[in-house]
A and B are shown apart, each in its own frame.
Chain A
Amino acid sequence: MKKLLSAAAILALSAGLASAEVKVGMITTLSGGGAGLGIDVRDGFMLALKQSGRDDIEVLIEDDQQKPDIAVQLADKMIQSEKVEVMTGIIWSNLAMAVVPGAVAQGVFYLSPNAGPSQLAGPGCNQNYFNVAWQNDNLHEGAGAWANQTGYKNSFILAPNYPAGKDALTGYKRTYQGELAGEIYTELGQTDYAAEIAQIRASDADSVFLFLPGGMGISFLKQYADSGVGKPVIGPGFSFDQDILGAVGDAALGAVNTSQWSKDIDNPTNAAFVESFQAEYDRLPSLYASQGFDTANLLISALDKAQPSDADAFRAALKAAEFDSTRGEFKFGPNNHPVQTIYAREVVKEGDVLTNKIIGTAIEDHADAYAAECKM
């Protein structure tokens, strides 16, 4: 039996040297209101594959419609009938929680290009689960640290009333040292913020921290600018990135936001990424696109050393993370989540395009708060 196995391994290895097909399953959101994020992750990922020139990686892309049940069905199909060895693509934490634990339990490798729920960073961590983006709290912790550096003493904070919203406010409060002028949980999917803006106006806050992803952020920023309240705004990069800035317009100018990536991070990989993304898709990349790009490059760097069928070697190759990241240096912490620098960026206008520019470093070499709870 043992002989047979090693013979099979040798066969697999030699096939690998020729042109073994590695099957990668990408489940991401390509329709509905959240599609912009999934499309950016997919485009960033595929761009990296194209640039690598490899034809031995087969990517199956499916649309989860932002629905956990559909994501689970797709994952089952990919693992059971398509026999994928590596999975990636999920945008939303609730979908990741529905898919990832089951997938890694069946021996599949999962590389997260976006969602980083605390459960998967802490007690629920797994040796086959790698997060290439961030743990969910990271950018909020960066925002809190930046608020301290700026000298904000009295923040008004708001986020939608759902798990990621609560994580956001918790993350901000974990690093922020000032007082809170107010703390509001808005309804998920809320589009009118008149009531909240009136409360901000009536408060004695010196700054507003918000985590309102997607359309919620667009609505809030437009209404906030029109209200004339004018207190400085700070938030995670999600509410201020390339995917929504065009829709917010000048109302976003001057807003400070935190991100692990920015298009002006000064390294050759990033410059080439921004330029080639623009050339390929005719738009500026978002942080989601950079995460998709980094995820694909991590995968390629690991495949250069080992095949997923040789799980231990492949896992070690992923963990080593020897690839050129758009963020510069990239390394994983003990729970397979990145230890990275979070930058503060400001929304500016370049020509007539709104974009972000780095104004400082919020936290350097930041690891997430749950790593200690992870026993691998």
Chain B
Amino acid sequence: MSTILIIEQILNGLQFGIMLFLMAAGLTLIFGVMGLINLAHGSLYMIGAFAAAAVAGATGSFLLALAAAMAAAALIGAIVEMTVIRRLYATDHLDQVLATFALILIFSEGTRWIFGSLPLYLNIPSWLAGPVTLPGGIQYPLYRLTLIAVGLLVWLGLWWLIERTRLGIQIRAGENDREMIAALGINISKLYTLVFALGAALAGLAGALVGTIQSVQVGMGEPVLILAFVVIVIGGIGSIKGAFVGALLVGLTSTLGGVFLPELFKLFTDPATAQSAGASLASMSIYILMSLVLIWRPTGLFGARA
């Protein structure tokens, strides 16, 4: 196996990880600040992708489509927070899981009702299409490089927002003691709506960016949601830094495991068995990673609480 292929696979792992980060960041933010398990986060991802496909189809502009994805997800996120989610903060996690699972069903069938059952068309704009040649002769799609850059920018932006702004101080305070910051005169319900909308917008952005190279269809959010939960459990619930490190770990493990485990198995079994056993073990690899991390640090890599 050549060095070029290995480097290319590492880039693939990074890019996959960064996409997971966009999804996990919103999820962990919402869990960290409001203590809410939001299963409907995958639906917001789907809403972002559908909004992007609709706007790209109508206007032909990819940037407008991205803006629409974030706006639509944020708006629907805010509405859902104010009508449904708000009633769940005081309840236990089981009620939250039940209610947000119901939201998944409502959003999925609602989307089908509006857009029909067939997957929608959303493709890479011509100015980002095709491969570029990197130093060393590696051919790599420009769009995937752009995804890595966008993900890093979002990470920086979130870091700045949480560490350097007044809103960030309130978010961090809200994670620690919601009664106290309410007592200090912060409008806690407004803060919660804002954080929920921010998390939703990130999910919407991820949906639009990923939907562009994948399939924009009903139910597209749920498989990603499972991975995003693995990411925040590894990273430590509520930690943006944890989500970033966890996402990269999961992205790299999943990509490199899928490539190298079958190769490894080929050393001591026949190719067909190696392929199928390697592929099976590769799909388990991120869960094995998660259990190892949890044995070592039960609160996750950067988690403050159990």
Seen from chain A, the residues whose Cβ lies within 8 Å of a Cβ on chain B are: 31-33, 35-36, 39, 161, 166, 183-187, 189, 191-192, 194-195, 198-199, 201-202, 214-216, 218-219, 222-223, 226-228, 243-244, 246-251
Contact = CB atoms under 8 A, between A and B. Distances in A.
A223 B215 contact: no
Given A183-B271, A226-B141, A195 B112 contact: no
Interface string B251-280: 000010011001000000001100110011
Interface string B132-158: 000000010101100000000000000
Interface of B: 1-2, 4-5, 8-9, 12-13, 15-16, 19, 108-109, 112, 117-121, 123-124, 129-131, 139, 141, 143-144, 210, 212-220, 223-224, 255, 258-259, 262, 271-272, 275-276, 279-280, 282-283
B14 to A, nearest CB: 10
B228 to A, nearest CB: 13
B2 A161 contact: no
Contacts, number: 131
B251 to A, nearest CB: 9
A84 to B, nearest CB: 25
A89 B114 CA distance: 25
Which 4 A-B residue pairs are closest in the complex by CB-CB distance? A215-B215, A247-B119, A218-B215, A194-B12
A215 B275 contact: no
Given A31-B112, A227-B141, A195 B259 contact: yes
A228 B131 contact: yes
A141 B25 CA distance: 46
A186 B279 contact: yes
Contacts of A161: 276, 279-280, 283
A32 B219 contact: yes
Nearest to A244: B119
A223 B123 CA distance: 10
Contacts of B255: 194-195
B16 A194 contact: yes
B217 A215 contact: yes
A198 B276 contact: no
B201 to A, nearest CB: 21
A187 B130 CA distance: 25
A12 B225 CA distance: 56
Given A187-B283, A191-B223, A32 B218 contact: yes
Contacts of A250: 123
Contact of B144 (A185, A194, A216, A251): A194
A195 B9 contact: yes
A283 B301 CA distance: 51
B218 A199 contact: no
Contact of A189 (B4, B118, B131, B223): B223
B218 A195 contact: no
Given A226-B129, A227-B131, A195 B258 contact: yes
Contacts of B8: 198, 201
A251 B123 contact: yes
B121 A184 contact: no
Nearest to A250: B123
Contacts of A198: 5, 8-9, 12, 259
A166 B112 CA distance: 31
B118 A243 contact: yes
Given A161-B276, A195-B9, 8 more contacts: A33-B217, A33-B220, A191-B210, A195-B255, A202-B5, A215-B215, A219-B214, A249-B121
B5 A226 contact: no
B272 to A, nearest CB: 7
Contacts of B212: 222
5 contacts: A192-B12, A201-B8, A202-B5, A247-B120, A249-B123
Nearest to B219: A33
B131 to A, nearest CB: 4
A7 B118 CA distance: 51
